[in-house]
Amino acid sequence: MNCDEAIDLIVDSLMDGVHEAQRLALEEHLESCASCAAEARAMHWSWDAMARMEEPVSHVDDPSVSAVVEAVDPVAAGARSAARVEGRNTRVATAAFYRRSGWLRTAAAVVFFLAGGLAGFIMRGDRSAASAPDGPTFLLLVRGTEPDATMPVETLVQEYSAWAGELAAEGRLVAAEKLVDDSGRWISGSSAESRSRSDVSGYFVISAADYAQAEDIARSSPHVRYGGTFEIRRIDPLE
């Protein structure tokens, strides 16, 4: 047995098991080879140490199954009908779960829609208008969840499609992106600044004449209609 084979066998003995004959051959090699014997000790230590690495408990505030199923459920096709019957309490609980845990599914429809259809809208739109709008542009930050949206997610996606499709057709949709549903990262030079969660789940860049028109556009979106929030900022043209 050469040293390479010996190291392979040490790994196998830890991870999968070895036959008796292999075990004896390995032991024989380790008795005659100091470097492999040292490596065997190091690998055994590593293997034991891996088991001693702690696994922190879940950060989820309330991992109860019912809350989780409620939170997951809007994603299921058509599964909301039951919740509608159960009424407002369920919806409030669901929305509270979203806010409390910040888990995922903030603006589930935005997720679906932006992941699938939006690129197409922008591509299909008037290219010159889309890439270089003449007038002022505004950033619409998609904030918060849509606590009042209790219809099947397909319906919500259709509403988003209609809304953004109209913007694209008018040449107002400059860009849009969905952000990954994680907590992101916060970098700050000041130690006083400490946050762990963002409620921004995506953004749209639109062209509009002024804030008033941008507000009207935002207000006509399903996100706002169902209780979500847009932060609207005018983009500085830097001219």
Partner 1 sequence: MTGGTDRSAILHWRERPQASDEELLAAVGSGDRGALATLFQRHYDRVRSICYRMTGEASTADDLAQESFVRVLRHARGFERRAAFTTWLYRLVRNVCLNHIEAETRREARERRAVTDQEIKRPRANEIVRKDDDERLAILREALYSLSAEYREVLVLSRYQGYSYAEIAELCDSTEGAIKVRAHRAMRRLRSRFEELENAR
Residues that bind partner 1 (CB under 8 A): 7-8, 10-12, 14-17, 39, 42-43, 46-47, 49-53, 55-60, 63, 65-66, 68-69, 71-73, 75-79, 82, 103-105, 180-183, 196
Q: Which is nearer to partner 1, 47 or 166 (CB)?
A: 47
Q: What share of the chain is helix, strand, coil (3-state, %, to 5)?
A: 55, 10, 35
Point out which residues pair with 231 in neighbouring strands. 141
Contact 198, 184 (CB under 8 A): yes
Least distance to partner 1, CB of residue 107, Å: 14
Least distance to partner 1, CB of residue 12, Å: 7
Helix and strand numbers (H, E) in the chain are 12, 4
Least distance to partner 1, CB of residue 105, Å: 7
Q: Which is nearer to partner 1, 104 or 141 (CB)?
A: 104
Q: Which is nearer to partner 1, 102 or 222 (CB)?
A: 102
Q: Which is nearer to partner 1, 155 or 213 (CB)?
A: 155
Q: Which is nearer to partner 1, 73 or 215 (CB)?
A: 73
Q: Which is nearer to partner 1, 37 or 232 (CB)?
A: 37
Of 52, 53, 61, 18, the C-alpha closest to 196 is 61
Least distance to partner 1, CB of residue 70, Å: 9
Q: How many CA atoms lie within 13 A of 29 on its CB side?
A: 21
Strand intervals (E) in the chain? 137-143, 173-178, 200-207, 229-234
Of 91, 99, 111, 80, the C-alpha closest to 199 is 99
Least distance to partner 1, CB of residue 14, Å: 7
Distance CA(192)–CA(233), nearest Å, equals 26
Cβ neighbours, 10 Å, residue 131: 11
Least distance to partner 1, CB of residue 69, Å: 5
Distance CA(237)–CA(239), nearest Å, equals 6
Least distance to partner 1, CB of residue 149, Å: 17
Q: Which is nearer to partner 1, 53 or 132 (CB)?
A: 53
Cβ neighbours, 10 Å, residue 226: 18
